[in-house]
Amino acid sequence: MVIKEIFTPDIAITWLPWAVQYFFLMGLAYASVWVATIHLFNAKQTDARLLKLCACLMLTAGIVAPIALLADLHQPLRAWHFYAQIRPHSWMWYGAFLLPIFSGTSLVFAWLLLRPYLPQAHSSLANSAQEADWLSRIGQWLRFGNWSSDKWLKPIALIATLSACSIALYTGMETMAIKARPLWHTYWLPPLMATSALLAACGTLALLNRVLHGYQASTQDRLLQWVRASFGLFALCLIGWALFDKGSAHEAALLLDSSPSWQLAAIWVLVTLALLALVLAVRRLPSVLMLVVSLTAVHLAWGFRWIVLIQAQTDPKYGAGTYFYQLPWGPEGLLGIAGTFGLWIALMVLVSEFIRYQPNSAREAL
C-alpha cells in the first residue's frame, strides 16, 4: 500500500472586514436612494420625514463606505492605478469610475432633500443666539441662497437612481466574477446583495425614525411595508439560489457536510430568517417588535455579507478542507468594524445638528 501525504497551506484571507463594512454601507447608500426616488414618484402624498431620513442615510453611508474601501486596499494611494491603466475586463476598473459618479449624484440628491431643513440666512426664527451658532452659520452657507430647488429634485433623483443601480450591479459583479471561488461565482449573488441591502436600508431607516428627533408613526408604518417587501424579495432570491444554482449552491452543500463552522452559519441564517418571517407576519407591530424587526434586518444583511466575503474565503481555492480564520482585535478586525460604525454615527449626529431648522410650509419640506 502506498501512502501519499497531502499538505494544504493555510493562506491568509485577502478581503478583510473592511470589505464587509464597505459592501454594507454602500448597500445602505444606494438602497436609500431607491427608497427616496420610488416614494418621490409614486406616493400620492409625499412623506417629508421619510425623504429626510433617506437623505441622511445616503449622505452619511455614502461618505463612510469609500473610506472603508480605501482601508481594505491596504495601500490606498495605489487607487490611482485604476485611472492610469485601462482594464476593461475588470469590474473593479469600472467601479473606479462608477463609484465617484454615485458619490457625487447621491450627495447632490441628499443636499436637495435636506436643503429645506438648513437654517435660512434671513429666517424669522433666527435670533442672536442662533446667529452666533457656528453650525447655523455653516448651514446657512450650505443652502447657497434661498432660491427654490423643487424643479431639480426629480431629475437629480432619476440620475442618482441610475447611478445607484450601476453601483449595485458593480458591487455584486466584482465578487461574482471571481471564478476561482465557486461560492462567489453565481449570477444569484448580485440580486442577493441588492435585496439584502434594501432590507438593511429599510431597517436602518426605521431605526433612524425612532432615534432622530421628530418620530412619525405614519413613516414607521410605511417603512414596515418596505421591510416586508424587501424581506420577501431577499427570501425569494435565496430560495432561487438554493434550488436552481448548480455551482455555488452545490459547493455550499459540500461545505455543510464537512465543516462545523458552515453548519453553524447555516443554522444562524435559517433561525434569523424564521424569526424575521414570524415577526413580520404580525399585522400591527408594537414599538418593541418593530425595533426587533429593524435590528434583525440590519443584522441579517450584515451577517450575510460576512458569510459571503469573509467566511467564503475559508474555503480554499485549491486543496481540501477549510482555512481557519480568527477575527483580530486591531484595525484589521474588530477595531476597524467598530471604528467604521463609529464614524458613521458621528456623521449622522453632525448632519442631524445641521438640519434642526423646520420648514415654514409643507411645500418647502419637499
Cβ–Cβ under 8 Å, residues 193 and 23: yes
Average pLDDT over residues 282-308: 93
Q: How confident is the model at residue 127 (pLDDT cuts 50, 70, 90)?
A: very low
Q: Are 51 and 113 in contact (CB under 8 A)?
A: yes
Instruction: Kindly write down the DSSP assignment for every residue of 90-139, as one continuous string.
Output: -HHHHHHHHHHHHHHHHHHHHHHHHGGGSPPTT-TT--HHHHH-HHHHHH
Q: Please enumerate in sequence order all residues whose Cβ is within 8 A of that of 125, keeping only pairs 6 or more positions apart, or say none.
A: 357
Q: What is the pTM of this model?
A: 0.91
Torsion angle (degrees, nearest 10) of CA 201, 203, 205, 206: 170
Q: Higher-confidence residue: 198 or 177?
A: 198
Say if CB 154 and CB 40 are below 8 A apart. Answer: yes
C-alpha to C-alpha distance for 260 and 192, rounded to whole angstroms: 24
| pLDDT class of 10 with cuts at 50, 70, 90 | low
**185-224 pLDDT, tens digit each:** 999 999 999 999 999 999 999 999 999 988 999 999 999 9
d(CA 162, CA 105): 10
The 10s digit of each residue's pLDDT in 262-291 is 999 999 999 999 999 999 998 888 889 999
- What is the distance between the terminal CA atoms of the chain, rounded to a whole angstrom? 80
Quick: pLDDT tens for 151-171: 889 999 999 999 999 999 999
pLDDT in tens, 306-354: 999 999 888 876 666 667 778 889 988 999 999 999 999 999 999 998 8
Residue-level pLDDT at 132: 46
Three-state DSSP class for residue 150: helix
Give the count of beta carbons closer than 10 Å to the beta carbon of residue 349.
11
Distance, in Å, from the CA atom of 110 to the CA atom of 54, rounded to the nearest integer, reads: 8
The b/e string for 66-105 (b: 16+ C-beta within 10 A; e otherwise) is bbbbebbeeeeeeeeebeeeeeeeebebbbbebbeebbeb
Q: In angstroms, what CA-CA distances link 57 with 105, 172, 322, 366?
A: 14, 21, 37, 17
Cβ atoms of residues 114 and 156 within 8 Å? no
Within 10 angstroms of residue 261's Cβ, the number of other Cβ atoms is 13
Q: Judge whether 161 and 194 are in contact, CB under 8 Å.
A: no
Q: Can you point out the beta strands (E) in 139-210?
A: none
